[in-house]
Structure 1
Amino acid sequence: MELDRRLLLIHCAAHALSVAAGLLVVVPMALNGSAFKGRCALFSAGYWRKEDRAEFTEQPGEMSHLVVQRWGPLEACQLATFVGIFTTLYGAAQGWRCLFYLHGRHDDTLFSSFLTVLLSVCVLFLSAGASVILSLGFSSWCDTVTDDNTRPYSCAESQSVPLYLDVDTSTFYTDLSLAQASLWFVTALWLVQSILAFLRLYHSHRQNITGPWLHRDKELLLGHTPLDSGSPTPPLPPATPSVCV
């Protein structure tokens, strides 16, 4: 198998993985947004307060519940969702193009390959930034829920503990942890795609440069010159016979 077809086949596999990884980012973030009624848990600020249990459960005694002072910015959650959606759509479109190129036995043009490299690098940095924001925001929310790790349960266990909020917190850790891991995997895939796109660009550029020289060397080895391959040499006029007296 030629080098360009091997690179194209690996690129197709990377695009297929991007579709699956992008969906694993979008679906958990959508479920978490629905459970939190459109609010973003990332970078939320709050504190724990003790109040009369009768206000919440109609039972005597005191209880502590979480009070959210400020919900996180929606942009923090929307950025991760946008990267997941773009990765899914782009991976599906490019995967179809890869299959078309494999069937037609040709590749992108030099300019198209350059645009692919540029786009892959830009989305790589965007995905890396979204991954860092999601990780930091998730860690901040866990600190709020566990009261800076002073509660007798971990962040994973806190989703089964009643927080007495007006949102559903029964699956927040599962949703956000899955989205976090998937988004970092998406970032790794964009890194792989950037490298593959650069290799395809380099291979295409090398073929465009060495192609005419290889054709010329082949003609020289066969004993032809560029002049021979051009217009044929006109025949010489017939010699006039000389008569000796």
Structure 2
Amino acid sequence: MELVRRLLLAHCAAHTLSVIAGLLVVVPLALNGSAFKGRCALFSRGFWRTENLTVGGGEAEEVTHLVVQQWGPPAACQFATFVGVFTVLYGATQSWRSLFYLHRRHDDTLFSAFLTLLLSLCLLFLSGGASVTLTLGLVSWCDTVTDQNTRPYSCAESQSVPLYLDVETSSFYSELTCAQIALWCVTALWLTHSILSFLRLYHSHSQQISGPCLSREKELLLGQAHLDCPLPCQHIHPPQTPAVFI
């Protein structure tokens, strides 16, 4: 029982961390989507062009600005957001279930533990794919912003440089980088969930097998004891000395 409590405590802590990491994915992506007016910066393509523009309502002047040819597919941002939202909801639910099991001093059934392991493995692959997608998408957007690293500033510095787009770009790098790091943490936590779910499944399977075996052993021992002593034991009284009358 002590092993079950330790596994439940570890799983509860991992789910709590998943909630925090999931929020760090969802909130920055939501802020970035609002700043970009619902457009996805990941895998966007564009080029830099110099032309005369009217800046600030004054006279026209020659300005080098970014022209976005095609914004990234919305599914690239929605995929990462979905993984983050599901991680938050699932982590909160499983944290409550783990605390409930700790209070009741029992664990999942064998079938429930198997479903938990299967779901953890599925989410591990989904979060890994979302992490790779977000990382590659951010690299592609940074290449567009820095013009294949030919501009005199880095991608992190470009968020403070006017790009002259119709979206707010003052914090895109901070938001997307935060979401990227948090999403890789979510992937690592789903790997932890998978390992803990396997250990709980193995323990439940061992308990289910060892339970009937222990009962069978007990029955065999009781049956052997009954065969060794088939008749009830009789109390042996010492022989009585006949009374002598004088």
TM-score w.r.t. length of structure 1: 0.89
Task: Indicate whether 1:66 and 2:66 are aligned.
Answer: yes
Task: Indicate whether 1:51 and 2:41 are aligned.
Answer: no
Which structure has the bigger radius of gyration?
A: 2
The gaps in structure 2 that reach 5 residues or longer are: 233-246
Q: 1:224 aligns with which of 204, 222, 231?
A: 222
Residues 113 and 227 of structure 1, relative CA distance in 2, 3 Å threshold:
farther
Q: Which residue of 2 aligns with 1:238?
A: none
Hey, what's the Cα distance between the residues in 2 that align with 1:165 and 1:61? 16
Asked if structure 1 preserves the Cα contact closer than 8 Å seen for 2:159 and 2:169, the reply is yes
Q: Number of aligned residue pairs: give it.
A: 228
The aligned amino acid for 2:69 is Q
Question: 1:121-136 maps to which residues of 2 (within 5 A)?
Answer: 121-136=121-136
The aligned amino acid for 1:77 is C
Hey, what's the Cα distance between the residues in 2 that align with 1:152 and 1:97? 53
Identity of matched residues, %: 71
Hey, what's the Cα distance between the residues in 2 that align with 1:81 and 1:227? 66
Q: Which residue of 1 aligns with 2:153?
A: 153
What does the per-residue CA deviation read over 1:98-121, in whole Å, with 9 as the maximum and x for residues that have no partner?
000000000000000000000000
Q: Which residue of 1 aligns with 2:195?
A: 195
Q: Which residue of 2 aligns with 1:164?
A: 164
Hey, what's the Cα distance between the residues in 2 that align with 1:38 and 1:61? 30
Residues 149 and 226 of structure 1, relative CA distance in 2, 3 Å threshold:
farther
- CA-based RMSD of the aligned residues comes to 1.8
Q: Which residue of 2 aligns with 1:242?
A: none
Residues 152 and 226 of structure 1, relative CA distance in 2, 3 Å threshold:
farther
Q: CA deviation at 1:212?
A: 1.6
Hey, what's the Cα distance between the residues in 2 that align with 1:115 and 1:184? 24
Hey, what's the Cα distance between the residues in 1 that align with 2:180 and 2:139? 11
Q: Secondary structure at the match of 1:225?
A: helix
Asked if structure 1 preserves the Cα contact closer than 8 Å seen for 2:12 and 2:98, the reply is yes
Hey, what's the Cα distance between the residues in 2 that align with 1:226 and 1:14? 49
Residues 226 and 10 of structure 1, relative CA distance in 2, 3 Å threshold:
farther
Asked if structure 1 preserves the Cα contact closer than 8 Å seen for 2:46 and 2:66, the reply is yes
Hey, what's the Cα distance between the residues in 2 that align with 1:218 and 1:227? 11
Q: CA deviation at 1:226?
A: 8.1
Q: Which residue of 2 aligns with 1:40?
A: 40
The aligned amino acid for 2:32 is N
Q: Which residue of 2 aligns with 1:94?
A: 94
- Bigger drift between 209-218 and 15-24 goes to 209-218
Q: Secondary structure at the match of 1:156?
A: helix
Hey, what's the Cα distance between the residues in 2 that align with 1:19 and 1:192? 14
What does the per-residue CA deviation read over 1:75-102, in whole Å, with 9 as the maximum and x for residues that have no partner?
0000000000000000000000000000
Q: CA deviation at 1:60?
A: 5.4
Q: CA deviation at 1:4?
A: 1.2
The aligned amino acid for 1:142 is C
The aligned amino acid for 1:143 is D
Asked if structure 1 preserves the Cα contact closer than 8 Å seen for 2:48 and 2:65, the reply is yes
Hey, what's the Cα distance between the residues in 2 that align with 1:142 and 1:218? 70
Hey, what's the Cα distance between the residues in 1 that align with 2:170 and 2:129? 28
Q: Secondary structure at the match of 2:223?
A: coil
Hey, what's the Cα distance between the residues in 1 that align with 2:142 and 2:19? 29
TM-score w.r.t. length of structure 2: 0.88
